Chain A
Amino acid sequence: MSRKWQRVKRWDNEHLSAGPLRPLKWVLRALSSISLAISLLVLVAIYGVFASVPIGLLALLPVWLVIGLLALLACALPAVGAGALVRAAVPKELRGLRFAGTVLAGIALAVAGGLVFAEFAWQPLYRVGSTGEGIGGLAAFVEDYSSTTLRRLPGFEMSELEFYSWWPFRLVLVLFTINMIVATLRRIEFSFKNLGVLTVHTGIVMIALAGAFYQQAKKEGDTILFAGAGAPETGFFDIDRTALWVRTIDENLRTPWEQRPVRGVPRYNDYGLDASVPEDADLLSDLLETAGPVESPRRLDVRVPDSLPATRGLYVEPTLKFRLVGYSAYGAIEETLALQTDAPADRPAEPVQVIEFVSKIPQENAVSEDPDAELIPELARLSFRFPLRPLSPAHRVARNPAFGIELTRGMPDERFLELGTRFPRGTLHGLIVTVPESATEAGGPLRVVIPASEGEAYSIGDSGWTVAVKDLADDPPFPIITEGFAGGTSSVAILRMTSPEGESFDRWVYHRFPSINQELLDQVQANGRPSRRDPDPRIDVVYIDASRLQVFIDEMPGGARRFLVRQPGRDASVVAGDAMTLLDEGAVVAGDLREMGDDAYGVSLAFGESWAHGEPVEYAVPVPEVDRDASLIGTHAEAKLAVELTMEGVDGWREVVWLPFSRYLGVGGQQAREVELPTGQRVALAFGRVRHTFERFGLEMVDFEMISYDHRGAPRDFQSIVRVVPTSVTSGFDAYSRVVKLNAPLRAPHVWSEDRSWPANAALMAVRGVDSRAYKLSQAGWDQQGWQESQQLADQGLVDRPRARFTILQVGNNPGIHLIAIGGVLIGLGTPWAFYVKPWLVRRERERLARGAGVAREPIGAVGRVEREAQGAGA
């Protein structure tokens, strides 16, 4: 107990022991306590354990403790026993032998015990530890929570830093800081020899206070810069704070986005995955007994704040309200239909027709689950049910590698005839080429029917056109994104066309969607992609995919149906009306599930249920754990958010839309969803990150380089050349360029000026340390794919060197970092003073006092002590 502490306690007792000041004494005593400091430090450590270690692993702790103790016992017991035996056997006089025997026998038996443990006990115990086998209940818990920390559980939903910013931890830290300040003031003498501990404590307090300021004003995130973007990037997206982005769609204006930062968005768990499914709706997924929305045990209800008063009504209709009602932490958006018997009055109907596909299997090939059954019954079983939407190109087709079914409404007769075009028997892919401007002897334009094969080229009569077949693909190389057709798919013929003038280009001819055929020219656009155009009208090409059973069903005006069936390599058969026609050789199509031949393989189609309207309903489906990228968990990157829209004054209107996460809003597109309001307006919504603005500057990407080790070894550095430009006349600096590379961040804005004196510049630099508008930009990401692709082009001599299309910079301000650094330096310097200088000072003082008292100098060190012992023994 220090003298100061004794003095302080005496003072407390004299002045604070009675009356209303007595509680103050309790507080001061408590906050001066070292036990409290230790308790708080233990709490900090425990908090850190729960923040970082999955609870599944923590649950295994007792198991591992048992394993460890058993292993220890397995080694220690034989060792101690062996030691005792040796000591009993060897007389005390043989001291060296006795000791050596004890040690060596102990080691030998400990090793033997360890080997026995490893051989017989380790595996069964280890299996408990690694797979959870053996302890009832624990296994499932360990498996379920093997990577789940406390902060990931529902009710917490915090990132690491959010968890450490939670009030319980802050409380502990605040208490510890106060405890340290009070204890330092009341217990430690302010003397030269105590400089070390005082410095360390001051350093810790500085870090605590500056850290609090740092945390308050800290902004961090990242920004993506594109080469040749044209305009400087003036902001960055927050590292993970999320916002709902909204804007009103106006065909004539480029309306801006409004961000509405949202708190309370989950991170790790699913909520309200069926939030967009109307109650009591008849769902197609239920009818077909396929996967559909599942009711979530947890609901979400988070209000999205309204616009700020200053911008109210500027971006979207102010009566429009948003709530978050569902969240899928790592999911995909699926769609089903809510079926209605009546068509809606206010918008186009979306009729739905179920087509039943029935397979017929003859006896000898039927499969029975009962191997002992004498008679295997003939099976005529319902195999598939396809819900087709004839008015939606993307949903009017059902297909697999064996067959395709297409249901249309009001197909033009010309198209129907095209589909039924005869080809030579055995043709799997057919082209119908028409040259409208030509004339034949028969009077019509030149029309050629070609059985097409990959790699073959065909001259089109004497028109001068040549058609070469480059590829006949089941699916287009790129997804169809044409409006109205997006999500649909079709086999496609990729043809190399050569005109009579010698111009060559590619034409993509779709089997099912001839209206979206297009041509790709050899000329490359500025972005490196080929130029596209509509098909040259001088030549028309139709592609018929006859490589699988194709069934076309068309609902004609008036309600009658006509059918067209084409078997692989055979002619098409056309049927009108609801009756069906037996095609040659037994393959069949039925209007109303009519049986075909008894013995042949066969399939039948039948019309199942139909509805006047199917309302698309989206819902989220969690991605299976095994398919998840662990690095993306908790980042929202694969998250989906359900937003409910309502309007004040419009009763009964409610819309729920699922939004995928947009890491960089506006880059990559497709993340925003549109909703039509009762007022007829349309709004776009997106789920993204909060965007901050650089207040004084903008950034442009000048160039990027990935530097590898020799011979294209591993990457050694990533370097972006970035230009920093002032965004206003008051920015206070001139534009400049810098290289940003790993471990060499760029600081912006630039404050050092040749026009100022050195001290003025230095003062500005110091002030900059607490300026939250000063940013540091570090190299964080790059266009790996673009770099590799351009490297290949460079290897072929097509470009001079590889290039990246974009670079990603991490952005962050650092308010108060210099104060934190000073605190760190104080700790680093104070510790050795406390450990090494103070004891030396104390020892020197004692020796001085001892000399003053006439006592001889005490020998120092072990040898000296041994000598003193010996002297003592002698005395």
Chain B
Amino acid sequence: MRIMSFVVMLVVCVGGAFATAQVTPPSAAPGPAGNEHPESSAVGSTTELPSPFGPPVLDRAPMTVEEKAAFSRAVDLSPLAGLAVSHGGRVKIVDTLAGETVGMITGRGRYEDLILEEESDREIPAGVPEAAWRYSGDITGIEKVKFDPLFTWLDLMIDPAFYFDRPLIAVDYLPLRDAYLEAAFGGAEETKAARSLWKKSTRVSPRMVGALTDDIFARFGGSGPMRQGIESVENAERVFRLGAANLLLIAPNDRTDRWHHVSEWPAQSDVRLAASELGEAWRAADADRVNAAVVRLAETLPSINAELYPTTSRELELAYNRSDLFSWATWVYLLSLLALVLAFGTGRGWLRWTGGGLLVLAVAMHAAGFIARGLIAERVPIQNQFESMTGVALFAALVGLVLLLVRRQPLFGAASAGVGFLIMIAATEMPIPGESIEREAAILNTSVLLKYHVTTVLTSYGLITLGMIVSLFYLGAHYGEKLLGKSEMQVVAAGALGGQDAPAGGPTNARLLGDLDRAQMIVLQLAFWTLGVGILLGAWWADHSWGRWWAFDPKETWALITWIVYLIVIHARIGAGQRKGLLTAWLSVVGFIVMLWTYFGVNLLLPGLHAYA
């Protein structure tokens, strides 16, 4: 009978649907002006100006790594760190620019090099550059040295020759790195160790880039990932070569005027003389003179057009950079999670309190970093991938913390810590776009509605993650009884749901699953609601900004699909009977995966109107 019903229903509805198919199809909405993040050039437009530090010395042997490391320890560049510089459409501090520059070139926060043992008398294979071979050295006796980004930033401009044959330029795409190393060293067995060392460094030398890139492009340019990789390498090489163009350190005398490059100032001005002195002393490896020139430069620059030279925000940005609150919060989240999980299993109250306390600390650090970033950027910091991830984690952790306090169930604390750790470890340790603070897309900064839309959607994403972790607890409780045994499960349940320490006072597993089901539904219902409201707010905003409330942009489509997953959760529970909790838990995991795709996959792989998201 059910089949007959379905067939009849199809026949009835096809006619009506066919009629609707005759409707004129609508059109796709293009993104208006200002719909993309403003272009941020890694190198300023003043590339034709000479370096204010003077020309580099290229005709003598560069320092050894030991000498360079010793020199870096001897100089004190801290007075320069807080100076203002205009770059990428915003006024930031030199410390930030140095970190971004070094990060872009080397692919990591600091330049790292190796001090190798004395060269053995191995013969250099034919065709292999001597310097590159020397770097490969003996594999034994390696000492890794790390350089401060500010030091490296200046060194790249003043003494670039040191880096010509060093592992400087990041090549993240492994096949491309292999291609460079094979072209540089050949494929012979005798060069295997050298290739391996370079490969592990994840970087190649500027000389390799200069000499080999054209050939590699000719061979592999047909592959999209290779092309992207080569483009990234060439950008890094350009920043290495032309980084001095970014020295827009001199404030203008009018807000409508641009910042000026140091070399645009008169040659006999204090600032030029100080910069020149810094360059000369640097090349002479005279740390005392360098330190004196640094102090002079740091005193001179803020005095030029002092009324427009930024003051307080520089200190905040320096503190933000130095404190690295997001990284610290990440590890405190982990400690909190471990403490709470151990508390569940052992029933130790002090572990529960410790976990809760660490969670509060982590949330506080996280929130402090978030607020500081917002103050520095002069906007709500949720407008690129990195920022939205920190926002998602913070909102979810806060909701989890509130639920912990209101319902007094440590399970929410553990879930909150888990969300915080998982998202923040991804944000801080993976190459997520947007870690640098940049100006937002024009279309974003002119709408208050946007703030509500994005915040609501991000909150829902955080809640989905939180709900997924609660659902994992559910699945663990459902399937884990066989592994842990009934009595231990009772202890875990009591710990997670706020019961007594003693196993006799703990709930049965069925009761535990019931409570966990309620817990996951509390979070998932909230996620469903906030996501729905967020989507509707987005539709309102889209109508306002793009002229169409719903355009089936990939981001919209996938947000709807994510919402549909939870709509299915709500309706599927109606007929699921005793297994509704298990069904919900699995669908929660599915919903989380769909949300991940909506959040990351769509942004990275599917073009659309949400180009800035």
Contact = CB atoms under 8 A, between A and B. Distances in A.
Interface of A: 23, 25-27, 29-31, 34-38, 41-42, 44-45, 48-49, 51-54, 57, 80, 83-84, 95-100, 102-103, 123, 126-127, 130-131, 146, 158-167, 170-171, 174-175, 178, 211-212, 214-216, 218, 220-222, 238-241, 626, 630-631, 634-635, 709-718, 741-745, 776, 778-782, 808, 810-812, 814, 817, 820-821, 824, 827-828, 831-832, 835, 861-863, 865-866, 869-870, 873
Contact of A831 (B443, B528, B564, B575): B528
B93 to A, nearest CB: 15
A726 to B, nearest CB: 23
B225 A174 contact: no
A709 B32 contact: no
B420 to A, nearest CB: 17
- Name the 8 nearest CB pairs between A and B, nearest first: A99-B345, A167-B21, A714-B38, A26-B5, A96-B346, A714-B89, A30-B5, A171-B17
8 contacts: A29-B2, A131-B225, A163-B552, A742-B443, A743-B450, A779-B33, A835-B526, A862-B515
B312 interface: no
B287 to A, nearest CB: 35
Interface string B6-36: 1011001110111011011111111011100
Interface stretch (B322-330, B390-398, B533-541): B533-541
A161 to B, nearest CB: 5
Contacts of A238: 27
The SS class assigned to the B binding surface is: helix
Interface string B520-554: 00000110110011001001100111111111111
A127 B17 CA distance: 45
Given A30-B8, A865-B515, A51 B407 contact: no
The interface residues of chain A, by DSSP majority, are classed as helix
Given A52-B606, A131-B225, 10 more contacts: A30-B9, A51-B552, A100-B345, A714-B90, A717-B445, A743-B544, A778-B546, A831-B528, A862-B408, A862-B498
B17 A170 contact: yes
A778 B545 contact: yes
A814 B498 CA distance: 53
B175 interface: yes
B488 interface: yes
A96 B348 contact: yes
B409 to A, nearest CB: 6
B64 interface: no
A37 B571 contact: yes
Interface stretch (B74-82, B116-124, B250-258): B250-258
B230 interface: no
Nearest to A165: B25
A630 B505 contact: no
A49 to B, nearest CB: 7
B442 to A, nearest CB: 5
A666 to B, nearest CB: 20
B446 A741 contact: yes
B547 A862 contact: no
Nearest to A29: B5
B511 interface: yes
Contact of B548 (A27, A174, A812): A812
Contacts of B345: 95-96, 99-100, 102-103
Interface string B304-346: 0000000000000000000000000000000000100110011
B164 interface: no
A781 B9 contact: no
B46 to A, nearest CB: 13
B256 A715 contact: no
Given A711-B259, A866-B500, A167 B515 contact: no
Nearest to B88: A714
A26 B27 contact: no
Interface in B489-529: 491-492, 494, 497-500, 504-508, 511, 515, 525-526, 528-529
Contacts of A821: 540
Given A37-B571, A742-B32, A776 B346 contact: no
B505 A165 contact: no
Most chain A CB neighbours (cut-off 10 Å) among B14, B221, B259, B545: B545
A389 B15 CA distance: 62
Contacts of A49: 561
Contacts of A240: 27-28
Interface string B68-100: 000000000000000000100111000000000
B483 to A, nearest CB: 7
B193 interface: no
Bin the interface of chain B by size: 35 or more
Contact of B442 (A41, A171, A216, A718): A718
A803 B25 CA distance: 38
Contact of B540 (A220, A711, A782, A824): A824
B436 interface: no
A589 B289 CA distance: 71
A160 B552 contact: yes
A866 B505 contact: yes
Given A52-B606, A711-B86, A812-B548, A160 B553 contact: yes
Which of B27, B252, B347, B574 has its CB near the most chain A CB atoms (within 10 A)? Answer: B27
A870 B567 CA distance: 37
B605 A171 contact: no
Contacts of A870: 504-505
B4 interface: yes
B499 A862 contact: yes
Contacts of B408: 862-863
A712 B255 CA distance: 8
A158 B544 CA distance: 26
Contacts of A741: 446
Given A812-B547, A869-B508, A241 B32 contact: no
Contacts of A716: 439, 442, 445-446
A778 B547 contact: yes
Contacts of A212: 20, 23
Contacts of A158: 25
Contacts of A26: 1, 4-5, 8-9
Contacts of A241: 27
Contacts of B578: none
Contact of B255 (A214, A634, A710): A710
Contacts of A29: 1-2, 5
Contacts of A631: 607
B162 interface: no
A146 B224 contact: yes
A399 B568 CA distance: 70
Contacts of A808: 33
A48 B602 CA distance: 12
B257 A38 contact: no
A12 B465 CA distance: 44
Contacts of A635: 30
A443 B210 CA distance: 66
Contact of B554 (A42, A52, A167, A835): A52
B224 A824 contact: no
Contacts of A167: 17-18, 20-21
B560 interface: yes
Nearest to B447: A743
Contacts of B223: 131
Contact of A83 (B258, B483, B500, B574): B483
B558 interface: yes
A103 B26 contact: no
A240 B29 CA distance: 9
B557 interface: yes
Contacts of A743: 443, 446-447, 449-450, 544-545
Contacts of B257: 711-712
B227 interface: yes
Contacts of B6: 30, 36
Nearest to A84: B483
Contacts of B175: 127, 131
Contacts of A626: 221-222, 227
